[in-house]
């Protein structure tokens, strides 16, 4: 069974800076992505904003703490809180990252890279299945930006990602900027990665800006989507067709209009590709 989630159009991340727009009813977008952990609280303004957003458009929950690749047991309180939040918000889908973030009970609060081995593959597949059972729904897993790879990895990241998705029967959140950042940092071909991802499992796309650090690229989410990343997005649309797309912007925040303009740009790029596709077909 492939993954199937609805097509929501072009959305933006629900961030504190834009809460006043949401509360005033002036935040008009196709959909919002909310960071799950920011709303795992008992009450207060963030939850009020989330419910208001939910009343106006679809919302999806995107987590950063599931630690799918960790060898520690899954955190029961976290799974319960995520399930409760999902029951309350009724998101279009729930996602987290293909990485690990804790060991021995010590959390790094980062998206740390896995070695791409059979051992890690079996482990992650089992974890994704368990999470899907506990949440009572399929999840989407996202490829992360990375700054190192392991010498004993037995397969490239795209094969690992595809194998996890197929064997655990989950969806993929394809972060195009992360593919590009990792491709530059590790010297692989970003297009090859995109072409190897199982198209029928891609349920969401992330676009974001990154920073040049001289020796490497850093996934900073602090600016416009780079031209090379737009090109990769075109390739994804050619390959996968319409996929819900979200612009992430988390630092050096733009005002609301500028953020929406970036999402609009994604809409235009998608339309151009689909039109050209229809003409040539």
Partner 1 sequence: MLSLRDLQAGFLRSIATAPGPSVFSGIAPAFLELVEGRGPLGSADRLGVYAEMYWARLVDVLRDDFSRVAAILGSTRFTALACAYLTRHPSTRPSVRWVGAEFANFLARDGAVEGLPFLADVARLEWTRMAAFNAADAAPLRVESLRAIPPSQWPRLTFQTVPALHVLRVAWPVHELWAADDAQICLVAGLQRR
- 164-175 core/surface letters (b: 16 or more CB in 10 A; e: else): bbeebbbbbbbb
Residues 8, 10, 33, 37: which binds partner 1 (CB under 8 A)?
A: 37
Q: Applying CB under 8 A, does 156 fall inside the site for partner 1?
A: no
- Phi and psi at residue 168, in whole multiples of 5°? -90, -10
Nearest residue (CB) to partner 1, 119 versus 255 = 119
Query: Which residues lie across from 34 on neighbouring strands?
Result: 61
Q: Does 75 bind partner 1 (CB under 8 A)?
A: yes
Kindly state whether residue 126 participates in binding partner 1, applying the rule CB under 8 A.
no
C-alpha closest to that of 248 among 84, 23, 97 = 97
Q: Give the integer Cα–Cα distance in Å for 197 and 160.
A: 10
**Pairing mode of beta strands 202-208, 10-13:** unpaired
What is the DSSP secondary structure assignment for residue 24, as one 8-state letter? Answer: T
- For partner 1, which is the closer residue by CB, 106 or 257? 106
73 binds partner 1, rule: CB under 8 A: no
Contact region for partner 1 (CB under 8 A) — 6-14, 113-121, 135-143, 242-250? 113-121
As beta bridge partners, residue 141 has 96, 172
Which residues, listed in sequence order, are joined to residue 13 by a DSSP beta bridge?
A: 33
Q: Least distance (Å) from partner 1 to the CB of residue 259?
A: 21
Least Å distance, CB 278 to partner 1, is: 41
Q: How far is the CB of 65 from partner 1 (least distance, A)?
A: 4
Per the CB < 8 A criterion, the answer to whether 145 and 119 are in contact is no
Q: Which of 4, 14, 19, 17 is nearest to 252 (CA)?
A: 17
Q: Least distance in Å: CB of 112 to partner 1? A: 6
Question: Which of 149, 177, 178, 204 lies at the binding interface for partner 1 (CB under 8 A)?
Answer: 149
From the list 24, 133, 215, 279, which residue makes contact with partner 1 (rule: CB under 8 A)?
A: 215
- Kind of pairing between the strands at 100-103 and 106-112: antiparallel
Among 120, 131, 163, 259, binds partner 1 (CB under 8 A): 120
Which of these ranges, 69-77, 157-165, 195-203, 253-261, lies near partner 1 under the rule CB under 8 A? 69-77
| Interface residues toward partner 1, by CB under 8 A | 37, 40-48, 65-67, 69-71, 75, 77-78, 100, 102-110, 112, 114-115, 117, 119-120, 123, 147-152, 185-187, 214-216, 218
């Amino acid at each position: 069974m492939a993954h199937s989630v609805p097509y929501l159009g072009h959305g933006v991340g629900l961030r504190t800076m834009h809460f006043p727009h949401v509360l005033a009813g002036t935040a008009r977008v196709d959909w919002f992505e909310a960071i799950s952990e920011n709303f795992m609280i008992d009450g207060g303004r963030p939850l009020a904003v989330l419910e208001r957003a939910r009343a106006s458009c679809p919302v999806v929950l995107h987590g950063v703490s599931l630690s799918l690749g960790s060898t520690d047991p899954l955190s029961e309180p976290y799974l319960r809180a995520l399930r409760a939040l999902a029951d309350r918000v009724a998101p279009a889908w729930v996602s987290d990252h293909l990485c690990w973030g804790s060991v021995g009970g010590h959390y790094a609060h980062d998206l740390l890279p896995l070695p791409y081995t059979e051992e890690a593959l079996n482990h992650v597949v089992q974890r994704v299945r368990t999470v899907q059972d506990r949440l009572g729904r399929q999840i989407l897993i996202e490829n992360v930006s990375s700054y190192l790879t392991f010498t004993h990895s037995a397969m490239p990241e795209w094969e690992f990602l595809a194998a996890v998705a197929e064997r655990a029967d989950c969806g993929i959140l394809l972060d195009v900027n992360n593919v590009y950042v990792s491709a530059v940092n590790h010297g692989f071909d970003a297009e090859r990665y995109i072409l190897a991802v199982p198209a029928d499992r891609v349920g969401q796309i992330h676009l974001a800006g990154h920073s040049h650090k001289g020796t490497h690229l850093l996934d900073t989410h602090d600016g416009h989507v780079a031209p090379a990343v737009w090109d990769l997005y075109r390739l994804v649309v050619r390959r996968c067709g319409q996929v819900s797309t979200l612009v992430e912007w988390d630092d050096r925040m733009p005002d609301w209009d500028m953020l929406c303009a970036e999402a609009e740009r994604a809409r235009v790029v998608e339309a151009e590709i689909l039109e050209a596709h229809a003409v040539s077909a």
